[in-house]
Amino acid sequence: MTKSKFNLGAFTGRTAKRLILYIILFSVLITILSSALQLYVEYQDEVGQIEQQIEQIQNSHLDGIAHYVELNNPVQLQLLIDGLVKLPDIERISIIVQDRVLQRAGGVVSDRVIDTKFLLYPLDPSKAREPSGTLHLVAGLDPLYERLKQKIWFILVATAVKTFLIAAFILLLFQYLVTRHLNKISQYAHNLTLNGHAPALTLDRMPARRGEVDELDTVVTALNEMQTRLAQELRLREEAEFDSRTSREQLAHMDRVTSMEEIASSIAHEINQPLTAIATYAQAALRSHKDDERIPSDLQKALEKITEQALRAGEVIRTIRQFISKQSSSRSEIGVKALLTSTSHLLETLGSQYKVSLVQGVADERLTVIGDLVQLQQVLFNLLRNAMEASPAESAIEIWVEESAHESDDRVSIRIRDRGCGIGSEAAKEIFTPFFTTKKEGMGMGLAICKTIVDAHNGELRFSANEFGGCDFTMLLPQGDKLDAKPEAKSGAKLESDQGAVS
């Protein structure tokens, strides 16, 4: 809805009312003062004109009148004063000789008058300088007052009209230049939201030129800055709240993980005993009935399988216990093949859960790395688990082991390649940061721990995207001496064939 630029509501506002009142009061005061001054000056002017007229009568006609009085010529006298009484504002002229009115013209009608008397002297210088009579002039001031009164009315009406027009004009200007913007500002402040997407406040006016910023521009800038700052503060606060919530959840998770480790450790211990017993009994049964023909060959095979599987289960449990037991780090030469095999044991259940297969490609089975077996198992375990979690079902995860491509570089490269969803460029910057995770249930510690362990081994952990859209994680570790013909002597683990499917 678009609002008219002129909103009548603006005229009923308190500021508008006060503005009108002040304009009118001030205008009335100024009008009264200036009119009074003007009237006073005009009054003085007009009274001056009347006095000038009287003075002119004195200068031009006093001698003539004295002459006719001397000649005792009443006709001429009457003619003369009849002419003079017609002059403006002169109301009555009388000639008084020996306290008696000799001639008179006109009559006094005004309440306020200027009353002037001139003595008449004989013109003949030989005669005594005794006055022969008096000329009595009465000028009326009422017409003058009447004129001034009319003028006052005119001034008052004109001023009222002028004041009204100016007040209306100022109000319109005020509404156009100020009130409508104030309304918009207050509406904006009223609807202010701090979601950070609110558009900035702009006023419907010409953009300010540089150096010509006025109060409204300053208010708008301040409001916009305030909105941005508040939104920022709110975002920071929300992030801090989120962080602290996440940290609490992570602590709780850590706590659960630690308890799980203890539980798993004791379960492994408990299960190991019966497994050993199963293997021992199965082996004993096999031995004691080895050449007994009464025992069907199926049963013998079953006993062999029982022994084999019990030993295998025992090996898995032994690896798990080793993996979760808190040991101080030690360095030894570890056969990479043994490292891979023991880690695969750990991953067996996960592999079948995710329905992925592990494919190993070891360039030289005699390769060894210098490090801590349990810690390196942990690194491989984490990398492979991430790969499994990212991979689609029925896909393969490859583990390639070879000597580092650079001749000067005496390291072994273990590369884990998956065909999973890959890592976006934004996430790629963060993956080694503790607690960075994109998984709902993830803790985001796996890669951070891997990196710490590999760094502590003077190694390197690298990440790159591969041509299948998945990820390659490459671990470079210091190379140990190659195993001799009897690898078991060093690693204590049996080597498997190149291709070992887990699931």
The binding site for ligand ADP (CB under 6 A) comprises 382, 386-387, 390, 418, 420-423, 427, 431, 436-439, 442-448, 471
| Shortest Å, Cβ 467 to ligand ADP | 15
CB neighbour list of residue 370: distance below 8 Å, 6 or more residues apart = 331, 332, 333, 334, 457, 477, 478, 479, 480
Q: With CB cut-offs between 5 and 8 Å by kind, which of ligand ADP, Mg ion, none does residue 387 bind?
A: ligand ADP
Supply 328's token pair: 């101080």
Q: Between residues 47 and 443, which has the closer beta carbon with respect to ligand ADP?
A: 443
Q: Between residues 351 and 446, which has the closer beta carbon with respect to Mg ion?
A: 446
Contact 65, 80 (CB under 8 A): yes
Contact 137, 93 (CB under 8 A): yes
Q: With CB cut-offs between 5 and 8 Å by kind, which of ligand ADP, Mg ion, none does residue 436 bind?
A: ligand ADP
Q: Between residues 301 and 439, which has the closer beta carbon with respect to Mg ion?
A: 439
Contact 290, 255 (CB under 8 A): no
Q: With CB cut-offs between 5 and 8 Å by kind, which of ligand ADP, Mg ion, none does residue 85 bind?
A: none
C-alpha distances out from residue 374 to 64, 83, 159, 325, 435, Å: 149, 143, 103, 9, 22
Regarding 391 and contact with Mg ion (CB under 5 A), the answer is no
| Shortest Å, Cβ 196 to Mg ion | 32
| Shortest Å, Cβ 432 to ligand ADP | 8
Supply 272's token pair: 């190991």
Q: With CB cut-offs between 5 and 8 Å by kind, which of ligand ADP, Mg ion, none does residue 437 bind?
A: ligand ADP
Among 446, 459, 480, 487, binds Mg ion (CB under 5 A): 446
Among 375, 386, 391, 413, binds Mg ion (CB under 5 A): 386
Identify the DSSP state of 208: P
Q: With CB cut-offs between 5 and 8 Å by kind, which of ligand ADP, Mg ion, none does residue 471 bind?
A: ligand ADP
Q: With CB cut-offs between 5 and 8 Å by kind, which of Mg ion, ligand ADP, none does residue 444 bind?
A: ligand ADP
Q: Between residues 58 and 466, which has the closer beta carbon with respect to ligand ADP?
A: 466
Q: Where do the H-state alpha helices sit in 215-296?
A: 215-288
| Shortest Å, Cβ 437 to Mg ion | 7
| Exposure string over 187-201, b if 16+ CB within 10 A, otherwise e | ebeeeeeeeeeeeeb
Identify the DSSP state of 201: P
| Shortest Å, Cβ 456 to Mg ion | 19
* Rounded-to-integer distance, Cα 392 and Cα 420, Å: 6
Identity at 477, one-letter amino acid code: L
Q: With CB cut-offs between 5 and 8 Å by kind, which of ligand ADP, Mg ion, none does residue 401 bind?
A: none
Q: Between residues 371 and 446, which has the closer beta carbon with respect to ligand ADP?
A: 446
Expressed in angstroms, the distance from the first to the final Cα of the chain is: 67
Q: With CB cut-offs between 5 and 8 Å by kind, which of ligand ADP, Mg ion, none does residue 459 bind?
A: none
Identity at 424, one-letter amino acid code: G
Identity at 299, one-letter amino acid code: L
In total, the chain counts a number of residues equal to 503
Q: Between residues 320 and 390, which has the closer beta carbon with respect to ligand ADP?
A: 390
Q: With CB cut-offs between 5 and 8 Å by kind, which of ligand ADP, Mg ion, none does residue 90 bind?
A: none
Q: Between residues 386 and 395, which has the closer beta carbon with respect to Mg ion?
A: 386
| Shortest Å, Cβ 365 to ligand ADP | 26
| Shortest Å, Cβ 499 to ligand ADP | 21
Provide DSSP, 171-193: HHHHIIIIIHHHHHHHHHHHT--
**Using CB atoms, what's the residue nearest to ligand ADP?**
446
Q: Between residues 445 and 502, which has the closer beta carbon with respect to ligand ADP?
A: 445
Stretch that binds Mg ion, among 48-56, 355-363, 444-452, 486-494 (CB under 5 A): 444-452
Beta strands in 113-234 (DSSP E): 113-120, 133-140
**Using CB atoms, what's the residue nearest to Mg ion?**
446
Stretch that binds Mg ion, among 104-112, 213-221, 301-309, 386-394 (CB under 5 A): 386-394
| Shortest Å, Cβ 343 to Mg ion | 15
* Rounded-to-integer distance, Cα 325 and Cα 173, Å: 84
Tokens 């002297």: give the residue. Answer: 121
Pairing of the two strands 332-335 and 368-371: antiparallel
- DSSP count for the chain of H helices, then E strands: 12, 11
* Rounded-to-integer distance, Cα 101 and Cα 135, Å: 10
| Shortest Å, Cβ 382 to ligand ADP | 6
Q: With CB cut-offs between 5 and 8 Å by kind, which of ligand ADP, Mg ion, none does residue 487 bind?
A: none
| H or E element at residue 81 | helix 74-84
Q: With CB cut-offs between 5 and 8 Å by kind, which of Mg ion, ligand ADP, none does residue 418 bind?
A: ligand ADP
Supply 184's token pair: 């918009």
Contact 370, 479 (CB under 8 A): yes
Residues of this chain that bind Mg ion (CB under 5 A): 386, 446
